[in-house]
Amino acid sequence: MKKTKSFSTSGSYRTLLCLILLLAAASGVFSVQGNPAEHQASKTDTAGKKLTLFGSEDILNVTLKFDLSTFLKKNLKTGSLDGEIDFILSDTDTIDRKVKIKPRGNYRFKTCGFPPIRLNFKKPVNAYPDTGKIKKIKLVTHCQQGKAYDDFVLREYLVYKLFSVLTDTSFRVRLLRIEYIDTHKERKPINQYGFLIEPLEIMAMRTNSSIVKVTHLTQKNIVPKLMDRVAIFSYMVAQWDWAVPGLHNISVIVPENYAGTGLGVAVPYDFDLTGLVNAPYGFPDEATGLKSNRDRKYTGICRSREEFVRALEEFKNLKESFYSVINDFPLLEQRSKKDITDFLDQFFNQLDNQKDMERLITQFMTSCKPL
């Protein structure tokens, strides 16, 4: 078979290619099964069985020990650093793992004093009590030291919880209280909140899905009603930093019930620049036309008014569930809860009557992407 020299010869060819690749993914060609040994519980790791990173909603206390001074210099030439993470399950029960620690995230790496982290466990840890071994995982950290930046971490954590109200095909998260200890003893310990994001492979396994890795996709390659759900959710939380083409802050999976349809399911992530988080380092790209990170713009695909009404009704029916995620969260101060709910009110107040909803839909149809 001859190799194709270019994938950009025509839009129709690219669309056909994407359809073929999605069908292949649905058939399991792109399914990420991983190493079977990593997905089976170890018979000898008795202590490790007590720890499941996503088997509980409880906050997990951890200690992360590594060369913090070198890490904070943000020298990419350093590569990964050796370290140890201690999972404190109780006053008398701690599980430790050797890890490789590496900074990640282009924007946060450049902008923040403390960049996000990727952890690579020397000995895998359990995702759930009955399935899933994790070798690598993303750790969302504070941007700068201080209580104010803990607030932004907690807000971003809650955005993931808000999306999970809509669907189980979402990334689960586990909140941590982290003590960072400098093994070279040049810096004082740092205590901040952080959270772990369920790895894509684990999420796909949990939802019985295949992973689509090709990037030549558009919103047309996503199940329509589920694409609208992601686009409206992004509007609700003021998430401008996403796109299906290039898989920018979007993963695409094919659950078993959509196998053979040629369509996938979009799963969003990385919400730190959303208006709901409202971090001081989050500024929309000039190309978006947005003046602040709290401005909203609908960038989903264009639909009929009737289709938009049906999509918005789902959000209207789940309003109380969304607000409960915020109001029932004990670690967020009342001032922050009010700020978030006031921000959500700007969206939900437009769903209260037909006239206001019609105006919102008109706004959607003005900025949406043509079919």
Segment 68-95, tens digit of pLDDT? 999 998 876 778 999 999 999 998 899 9
Mean pLDDT of 28-50: 49
Parallel, antiparallel, or unpaired for β 190-197 and 173-182?
antiparallel
pLDDT value of residue 96: 95
Assess contact for 153 and 131: CB atoms under 8 A.
no
Mark whether 51 and 198 lie in a shared domain: yes
Instruction: Using the predicted structure, report yes or no on whether residue 44 has a pLDDT greater than 80.
Output: no
pLDDT value of residue 46: 54
Amino acid at 312: L
Mark whether 221 and 363 lie in a shared domain: yes
Mark whether 193 and 97 lie in a shared domain: yes
How many structural domains comprise the chain? 2
Mark whether 309 and 223 lie in a shared domain: yes
pLDDT value of residue 269: 98
Domain limit, last residue, from 154, 184, 202:
202
Domain limit, last residue, from 171, 202, 233:
202
pLDDT value of residue 78: 74
Binned at pLDDT 50, 70 and 90, residue 105 comes out as confident
**Residue numbers of the domain that contains 55:** 46-202
Mark whether 362 and 213 lie in a shared domain: yes
What global pTM score does this model have? 0.89
Instruction: Using the predicted structure, report yes or no on whether residue 9 has a pLDDT greater than 90.
Output: no
Using CA atoms, how far residue 276 sits from 102, 263, 299, 331, in Å, is 28, 30, 17, 16
For residue 238, give the 3-state DSSP assignment. Answer: coil
Instruction: Using the predicted structure, report yes or no on whether residue 8 has a pLDDT greater than 60.
Output: no
* From 24-33, 95-104, 197-206, the region with the lowest mean pLDDT: 24-33
Mean pLDDT, all residues of the chain: 89
Task: Determine, yes or no, domain membership for 266.
Answer: yes
Mark whether 68 and 191 lie in a shared domain: yes
Q: How many residues does the chain have?
A: 371
pLDDT value of residue 132: 87
Task: Determine, yes or no, domain membership for 27.
Answer: no
Task: Determine, yes or no, domain membership for 6.
Answer: no
- The pLDDT tens digits of the residues spanning 277-326 come to 999 988 888 888 999 999 999 999 999 999 999 999 999 999 999 999 99
Mark whether 153 and 218 lie in a shared domain: no
Token reading at 157: 């954590």
